[in-house]
Amino acid sequence: RGGTAEPVIPFAQPGSLTRVYAIASGKGGVGKSSVTANLAVAMAQDGLAVGVVDADVYGFSIPRMLGITQQPTKVDDMILPPIAHGVKVISIGMFVPAGRPVVWRGPMLHRALQQFLADVFWGDLDVLLLDLPPGTGDIAISVAQLLPASELVVVTTPQQAAAEVAERAGSIALQTRQHVVGVVENMSWLEQPDGSRLEVFGSGGGQTVADNLATATGTAVPLLGQIPLDLALREAGDAGTPVTLTAPDSPAATVLRDVARTL
Ligand code: ADP
C-alpha cells in the first residue's frame, strides 16, 4: 500500500459530541491563555470532561498556568496527556527542549497539531479548547482545516488598536467558514478602592470587535463578558492554580465562570 493514511481525528468525525472552541486573539499579552486556562478549569468544575490543546507555539504558557510539570507518557501508539485540575492538557511546550525557541515552519506545525488531535488519548470529551497563537497564522488555518466544526472565541482588550487586530484574527472565520461564538474583553478596568472603575486600556474594544464581526459574518456575535484587571488572576496564573479555583467569588472568576457556562 502506498502513501500514508491521514490520521483519524475523533473530534472531526461525523457525530462527534465534543464541542471544539479555538481561543484566538489579534496580538499577544491580551490574556488569551489566561482565559483558556480559566474557562477549562471552570468547565471541569461544572463536571464537564475538558481537554486543552496549547497550540500557541511561540508563547506556550498553558502548562505553567495549570501547574503542569509532568510530561505526557506513551502507551502503545497513544500519548497520555497530563491532567491538571481535572483538565487534560497537551502543549507544544511538552515536545520541545526547555529554553529553546520553536522555529518550526507551517507544515511541521500542521503535523504537530494533527498529532495532538489524533494520537493523544483524550477519551470522551465534552469540550476541547485550543489556545491559538496570536494573529492569523498557519495554526489558525490548520485548526480550521483539521476541525472544520470548531468555533472561534476572540479575546481582546478594550483598547481600539488591540480591537482592530483582534477583528482581523476573528475575520479569518469568514474564509474558513467557522462560527464565531463571541468576544471576551479582558483587562476591561481596574476597580479602585472606592469602587470606581479605572479604564486603564480605554473602553469599547470588545463591543466594537463583536459588532464588526457580526456585520462581517452576518451572524450574531455577542460580547460574552468583560474581565476586570485582577491581581489575583495574574498571581493564580503564575502559581499554576487558576483564579476560578483560588478566588472563585472574585469579579474576574465570576465573569469567567459565566462565560464558561454560556459556551
Ligand atoms: P496571551 O495568552 O494573550 O499572550 P496571557 O494570558 O499570557 O496572554 O496574559 C499575559 C499576562 O497578563 C499574564 O501574566 C497574565 O497573568 C496577565 N493577565 C491576563 N489577564 C489579566 C487580568 N484580567 N488581570 C491581571 N492580569 C492579567
Q: Considering the domain boundaries, does residue 5 fall inside one?
A: no
pLDDT digits (tens, 9 = 90+) for 211-259: 999 999 999 999 999 999 999 999 999 999 999 999 999 999 999 999 9
* Residue 137, pLDDT score: 81
The closest of 219, 230, 222 to 252, measured between CA atoms, is 230
Q: Considering the domain boundaries, does residue 246 fall inside one?
A: yes
Q: Considering the domain boundaries, does residue 120 fall inside one?
A: yes
Q: Considering the domain boundaries, does residue 32 fall inside one?
A: yes
Report the run of H or E that residue 88 belongs to, with start and end: strand 87-91
Phi, psi of 126 (to 5 degrees): -80, -40
Give the residue whose CA is nearest to atom 4 of ligand 1: 29
Q: Which range of residues forms the domain containing residue 114?
A: 10-262
* Residue 157, pLDDT score: 97
Q: Considering the domain boundaries, does residue 2 fall inside one?
A: no
d(C-alpha 15, C-alpha 133), whole Å: 28
pTM of the model: 0.95
- CATH number where 35 lies: 3.40.50.300
Cα dist. 186→60, 154, 252 in Å? 19, 10, 9
Residues in the ligand 1 pocket, defined by CB under 6 Å: 25, 28-34, 59, 61, 186-187, 227, 229-230, 233-234, 237, 252
Binding site for ATP, by residue number, is 26-33
Q: Considering the domain boundaries, does residue 233 fall inside one?
A: yes
pLDDT band at 1 (very low <50, low <70, confident <90, very high): very low
Q: Considering the domain boundaries, does residue 1 fall inside one?
A: no
**Considering its fold, how many domains does the chain have in total?**
1
Out of 30, 32, 34, 57, mutate this one to test ligand 1's pocket (max ligand atoms within 8 Å of CB): namely 34
Q: Considering the domain boundaries, does residue 3 fall inside one?
A: no
The closest of 106, 156, 147 to 129, measured between CA atoms, is 147
pLDDT band at 6 (very low <50, low <70, confident <90, very high): confident
